[in-house]
Amino acid sequence: MSSLPQFVRLDNAYTTIIFDCQGRSPSLLYMGEPLSTATDGAMLSLLSTRQEAKCAPVVEPPVSLVPTHGEGITSAPGLEVFGQQDEWSAGFQTTAIEQQGLKVTFIGEDEHRNMLLVTQVVLDENSSVATYKSTLTNTGSQAVNLAYLNAASLTLPMNVTKIKTFEGRWSNEFQTADHDLFFGSYVRENRRGKTSHDTFPGLIAFPQGTSELAGECFGFHLGASANHKLRAEVMADGRSYVQFGELLFPGEVQLAAGESYSSPVLYSGFGCEGFSSLSQQFHNYIRSNVLKHNADSKPRPVHYNTWEGIYFDHDVDTLKALADKVAPLGVERFVLDDGWFKGRRSDKAGLGDWTVDESIYPEGLGPLIDHVTGLGMEFGIWFEPEMVNPDSDLYRAHPQWALQTKNNPHVPFRNQLVLDLTNPDVVEYLYKVITDVLSTYPKISYIKWDMNRDVNHPGNLKGKPAMHGQIPALYQLIQRVKDAHPGIEIESCCSGGGRVDLGILQHTDRFWTSDSNDALDRLRIQRGFSYFFPSEVMGAHVGPRDCHITGRNIPIEMRAAVAMFGHMGIEMDPRELTEQETGALKDAITLYKSFRHLTHSGDLFRMDDDKLNVKFGYVSKDKSEAVFAYNSVVETPKTTPLRFLFAGLDSAKSYRITRVWPEKLKEYSPSILQTADGKVFTGEALMKFGLQMPVLFPQTALIYKLDAV
Ligand code: GLA
List, as one string, the DSSP characters of 242-253. Answer: EEEEE---TT-E
- Ligand 1 atom nearest the C-alpha of 495 is 8
Distances (CA, A) of 646 to 164, 535, 629: 24, 19, 10
Q: Which long-range contacts (CB under 8 A, 24 or more apart) does 404-410 make?
A: 404/457, 404/459, 405/457, 405/459, 405/463, 406/459, 406/463, 408/457, 410/456, 410/457
Task: Give the pLDDT score at 665.
Answer: 81
Choice from 495, 516, 518 to test ligand 1 binding pocket (greatest atom count within 8 A of CB)? 495
How far, in whole angstroms, is CA 459 from its chain's centroid? 27
- Ligand 1 atom nearest the C-alpha of 448 is 10
Task: Give the pLDDT score at 1.
Answer: 46
Which residue's CA is minimally distant from atom 12 of ligand 1? 338
Distances (CA, A) of 348 to 84, 389, 412, 414: 47, 7, 12, 7
Beta bridge partners of 644: 691
Task: Give the pLDDT score at 669.
Answer: 61
333-336 and 162-169 strand pairing: unpaired
Task: Give the pLDDT score at 293.
Answer: 86
Among the listed residues 337, 338, 353, 450, the single catalytic one is 450
Q: Is residue 668 pLDDT above 90, yes or no?
A: no
The superfamily (CATH) of domain 605-708 is Golgi alpha-mannosidase II (2.60.40.1180)
Q: Is residue 294 pLDDT above 90, yes or no?
A: no
Contact 90, 68 (CB under 8 A): yes
Q: Is residue 3 pLDDT above 90, yes or no?
A: no
CA distance 131 to 103: 9
Phi-psi region of 621 (alpha: psi -120 to 50; beta: other; left: phi over 0): alpha
Task: Give the pLDDT score at 490.
Answer: 98
> Which stretches of 89-171 are DSSP H helices?
none
CA–centroid distance, 450 to ligand 1, in Å, is 7
- Ligand 1 atom nearest the C-alpha of 494 is 8
Question: pLDDT by residue (tens digit) across 523-544?
Answer: 999 999 999 999 999 999 999 9
Q: Is residue 420 pLDDT above 70, yes or no?
A: yes
User: How deeply is 191 buried, as exposed, middle or buried, from its count of CB atoms within 10 A (0-12, 13-18, 19+)?
Assistant: middle
Which residue's CA is minimally distant from atom 11 of ligand 1? 495
Task: Give the pLDDT score at 666.
Answer: 73
- Ligand 1 atom nearest the C-alpha of 571 is 9
CA nearest neighbour of 216 among 304, 135, 128:
128
Which residue's CA is minimally distant from atom 2 of ligand 1? 495
Percent of the chain past pLDDT 70, that is, above it, reads 99
Contact 489, 510 (CB under 8 A): yes
Choice from 304, 336, 515 to test ligand 1 binding pocket (greatest atom count within 8 A of CB)? 515
CA nearest neighbour of 236 among 30, 489, 57, 64:
57
Residue 295: which pLDDT band, with cuts at 50, 70 and 90? confident
CA nearest neighbour of 613 among 640, 594, 641, 585:
641
Which residue's CA is minimally distant from atom 8 of ligand 1? 495
Backbone angles phi, psi at 8, to 5 degrees: -125, 135
Question: pLDDT by residue (tens digit) across 342-394?
Answer: 999 999 999 999 999 999 999 999 999 999 999 999 999 999 999 999 999 99
CA–centroid distance, 585 to ligand 1, in Å, is 23
Ligand 1-lining residues (CB < 6 angstroms): 307, 337-338, 382, 450, 452, 493, 495-496, 512, 515
**CATH 3.40.50.2000, applies to 337-509:** no
CA–centroid distance, 218 to ligand 1, in Å, is 34
- Ligand 1 atom nearest the C-alpha of 337 is 10
Q: Mean pLDDT throughout 256-285?
A: 98
Q: Is residue 2 pLDDT above 60, yes or no?
A: no
**CATH 1.10.3730.10, applies to 7-289:** no
Among the listed residues 515, 518, 521, 587, the single catalytic one is 515
Distances (CA, A) of 95 to 25, 122, 358: 9, 19, 64
CA–centroid distance, 418 to ligand 1, in Å, is 16
CA–centroid distance, 331 to ligand 1, in Å, is 20
Q: Which residues contact 123 (CB under 8 A, 6 or more apart)?
A: 10, 12, 15, 17, 102, 103, 129, 130
Residue 671: which pLDDT band, with cuts at 50, 70 and 90? confident
- Ligand 1 atom nearest the C-alpha of 382 is 10
Q: Mean pLDDT throughout 458-481?
A: 97
Q: Mean pLDDT throughout 632-653?
A: 94
Measured in residues, the chain has a length of: 709
Which residue's CA is minimally distant from atom 6 of ligand 1? 338
Residue 336: which pLDDT band, with cuts at 50, 70 and 90? very high
- 515 belongs to the catalytic site: yes
CA–centroid distance, 501 to ligand 1, in Å, is 18
Rg (CA), the chain: 27
CA nearest neighbour of 600 among 536, 540, 512:
536
CA nearest neighbour of 540 among 291, 303, 333:
303
Question: pLDDT by residue (tens digit) across 34-43?
Answer: 999 999 999 9
E strand or H helix at 322: helix 316-326
CA–centroid distance, 386 to ligand 1, in Å, is 14
Domain boundaries, the chain: 7-289, 337-509, 605-708
253-255 and 130-138 strand pairing: unpaired
